[in-house]
């Protein structure tokens, strides 16, 4: 269960996001996402396939993204910045910057408009994450960042989406300070395009 600090942070982030968002526009090049996630015990593959349990570590993430290009009507490309607050077994802030590719057309979009996004970038934790330090011999404040997202919206409310995300920090097979470990979190939240 989320404690009051998490709810307050969610409320403040939501109000800030709505203040930035304003009215929805037809082009909707910007988006604000707010989601809660829980760290898993498993690898990225185990997390994606639901073959893992969860830790007592949560995070709340606010993300602002902007579309920077597209490939026909098939793909959109975005830049995204994230601010995350960790709670529970670890208590620190995390800042992520990434480039996102979003696949847009699905055959059922007339019923539930769906998109699939994959993002790659950098992640900086304000202190060494406790969960990563306990699990792996090496970790670092600066690591690689991956994001996977499924977004669902009603055709009548295209600016609002229910999202589910995987939040992944890793050493990218030793590329970052020789780190070979990773942490994964599974999250759910809302995305508002404007």
Per-residue pLDDT of the chain in tens (194 residues, 90 and over written 9): 455 555 555 555 555 554 444 443 447 899 999 999 999 988 888 888 888 899 999 999 999 999 999 999 999 999 999 999 999 999 999 999 999 999 999 999 999 999 999 999 999 999 989 888 888 878 889 999 999 999 999 999 999 999 999 999 998 988 888 888 789 999 999 999 99
Q: Does domain 4-193 have CATH number 2.40.160.20?
A: yes
| Residue 122 backbone dihedrals phi, psi, to 5 degrees | -120, 150
The conformation of residue 20, written as its DSSP 8-state character, comes to H
> What is the number of other CB atoms lying within 10 angstroms of the CB of residue 19?
9
């Amino acid at each position: 269960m989320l404690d009051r600090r998490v709810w307050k942070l969610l409320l403040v982030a939501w109000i800030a996001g709505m203040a930035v968002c304003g009215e929805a526009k037809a082009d909707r090049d910007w988006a604000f996402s707010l989601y809660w996630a829980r760290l898993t015990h498993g690898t990225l593959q185990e997390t994606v396939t639901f073959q893992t349990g969860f830790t007592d570590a949560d995070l709340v993430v606010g993300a602002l993204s902007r579309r920077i290009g597209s490939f026909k009507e098939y793909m959109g490309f975005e830049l995204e910045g994230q601010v995350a607050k960790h709670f529970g077994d670890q208590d620190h802030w995390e800042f992520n910057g990434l480039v996102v590719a979003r696949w847009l057309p699905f055959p059922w979009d007339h019923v539930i408009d769906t998109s699939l996004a994959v993002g790659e970038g950098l992640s900086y934790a304000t202190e060494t994450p406790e969960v990563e330090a306990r699990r792996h011999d090496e970790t670092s404040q600066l690591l690689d960042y991956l994001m996977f997202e499924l977004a669902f919206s009603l055709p009548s409310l295209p600016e609002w989406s229910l999202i589910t995300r995987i939040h992944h920090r890793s050493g990218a097979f030793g590329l970052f300070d020789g780190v070979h470990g990773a942490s994964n979190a599974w999250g759910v939240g809302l995305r508002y395009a404007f």
